[in-house]
Amino acid sequence: MTEAEAEAFEQNVDSSAPFWQELHDEDRPTIKIQGRDVPRCLYILMQTRRDIEMYVDHDTKPQRTWKIGDVKKYFGIKGNKSKVKDLIFTIHDETIGRIKDTDNG
């Protein structure tokens, strides 16, 4: 991500949102996935990436009670559904990508 992209990203994200608070918390809750402890916030991010893609690309809610407003609140983001999808994909690529890089390198 370039510096200009990072600045634009920060303007669209509220860092006091639950996702960001949990991501930076040392005592964050974890979930066991294939024998590894994974932070719950990253698991939710992976599921949200799947759900938002279904919602935007196929105009289908992943479940009856799912709301894009809940996604916006949890991640602290604003915008229409396409903008939210782009931001979720960016957050996913930056956070999960960094974890994969540290695991491989």
DSSP 8-state secondary structure symbol assigned to residue 63: S
The sign of the dihedral angle between the CA atoms of 32, 16, 80, 93 is: negative
Domain ranges of the chain: 3-104
Per-residue pLDDT of the chain (105 residues; tens, 9 = 90+): 667 666 666 677 888 999 999 999 999 999 999 998 999 999 999 999 999 999 999 999 999 999 999 999 999 999 999 999 999 999 999 888 766 656 655
In angstroms, the CA 53 to CA 59 distance is 9
